[in-house]
């Protein structure tokens, strides 16, 4: 099979220009959107390449990489991103589409199908970090706020190092938990503060994503088939527990996918998962619709 062509497109949205890529030819099958947040299109190159038999769309969320903002650098909400996703689908033909949404992208996709479910045939929501629906929500949100304060005070390296420890916390978080001090160089992160405070994750998205409260009734009523997915190797980390809890609210069981939170990744960012096995599992789930 020949390698699908890759084309890049932009669309204007209120406060931003959104950039998205299309692999293959639209109109030759149900498009598959593969989305994250704040991970952009470059994080999904390996997974997208596993589906040469259908058109695949990836994109950069607003404020990330090629999707530039014109409305400043304030915090964003899942509803902001959901509106952008709806615009993309309208632009490529209106849908319905299939969606693999990972991490923050899964939160945004849940906001999207709660409002515009007619645009999505199947949503596979992989490990949405929904702290608000967990039994330890208060401890989680306090730790997230403390992490953001570290970023505001000390800069990107210390903030991101604290984030890495926080998302890797395995189990129920006790009240009063505080992330232990960490040397950013342990994760290859800078120690010097460059003065910037506009990081897409730490400044713009982290509180909106983790603090989102899904509209359970709207999701239950949506025509979209919603599948909550979690990594088989993710243990009881917060995002995996978010998938478990969201599935329970929808009266379903979470579906295990190979690997952990980044199980879909190839050589992107040096965090290789199991992309071939992940893609095979995704095919099974989508074809079971």
Are 206 and 215 in contact by the 8 Å Cβ rule? The answer is no
Over 60: is that where the pLDDT of 289 sits? no
**1 has a pLDDT exceeding 80:** no
pLDDT score of 146: 95
Continuous segment of H or E residues that includes residue 139: helix 137-154
8: tokens are 């890049």
Residue 18 near residue 11 (C-beta atoms within 8 A) = yes
Token representation of residue 251: 């009266």
Q: Which domains does the chain have, with CATH numbers?
A: 6-130+212-287 (3.40.50.1820), 137-205 (no CATH)
Read off the pLDDT band of 269 (50, 70, 90). Answer: confident
Mean pLDDT of 99-111: 98
Name the residue with higher pLDDT: 216 or 271: 216
Instruction: Give the SS3 label for residue 20.
Output: strand
Mean pLDDT of 29-55: 97
User: Which residues, at least 6 apart from 129, have a Cβ–Cβ distance to it below 8 Å?
Assistant: 103, 104, 107, 167, 209, 210, 238, 239, 242
Q: What is the pLDDT of residues 122-136, one digit of tens each?
A: 999 999 999 999 999
Residue 103 near residue 39, CB atoms below 8 Å:
yes
CA distances from 47 to 159, 163, 270 (A): 29, 25, 15
Reduced to 3 states, what is the DSSP secondary structure of residue 2? coil
Q: Which residues face 18 on adjacent strands?
A: 11
Distance (Å, rounded) from C-alpha 16 to C-alpha 229? 30
54: confidence class by pLDDT, cuts 50, 70, 90: very high
Q: How confident is the model at residue 66 (pLDDT cuts 50, 70, 90)?
A: very high
* Mean pLDDT score across all residues of the chain: 96
- Assess whether the previous peptide bond of 44 is cis (omega < 30° from 0): no
Q: What is the Cα–Cα distance from 161 to 222, expressed in whole angstroms?
A: 38
């Amino acid at each position: 099979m020949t390698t699908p062509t890759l084309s890049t497109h932009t669309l204007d949205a209120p406060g931003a220009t959104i950039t998205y890529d299309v692999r293959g030819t639209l109109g030759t099958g149900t498009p598959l959107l593969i989305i994250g947040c704040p991970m952009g299109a470059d994080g999904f190159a390996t997974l997208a390449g596993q589906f040469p038999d259908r058109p695949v769309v990836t994109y950069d969320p607003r404020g990330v990489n090629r999707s530039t903002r014109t409305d400043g650098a304030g915090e964003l909400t899942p509803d902001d991103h959901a509106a952008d996703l709806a615009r993309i689908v309208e632009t490529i033909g209106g849908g319905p589409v299939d969606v693999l949404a990972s991490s923050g992208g899964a939160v945004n996709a849940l906001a999207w199908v709660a409002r515009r479910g007619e645009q999505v045939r199947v949503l596979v929501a992989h490990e949405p970090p929904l702290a608000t629906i967990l039994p330890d929500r208060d401890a989680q949100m306090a730790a997230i706020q403390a992490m953001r304060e570290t970023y505001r005070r000390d800069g990107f390296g210390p903030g991101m190092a604290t984030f890495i420890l926080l998302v890797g916390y395995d189990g129920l978080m006790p009240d009063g938990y505080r992330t232990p001090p960490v040397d950013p160089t342990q994760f290859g992160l800078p120690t010097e503060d460059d003065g910037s405070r506009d990081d897409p994750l730490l400044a713009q998205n982290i509180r909106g994503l983790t603090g989102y409260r899904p509209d359970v009734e709207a999701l239950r009523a949506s025509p979209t088939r919603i599948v909550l997915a979690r990594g088989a190797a993710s243990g009881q980390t917060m995002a995996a527990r978010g998938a478990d809890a969201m599935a329970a609210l929808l009266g379903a069981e979470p579906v295990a996918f190979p690997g952990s939170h980044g199980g879909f990744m190839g050589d992107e960012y040096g965090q290789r998962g199991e992309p071939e096995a992940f893609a095979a599992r995704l095919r099974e789930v989508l074809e079971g619709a």
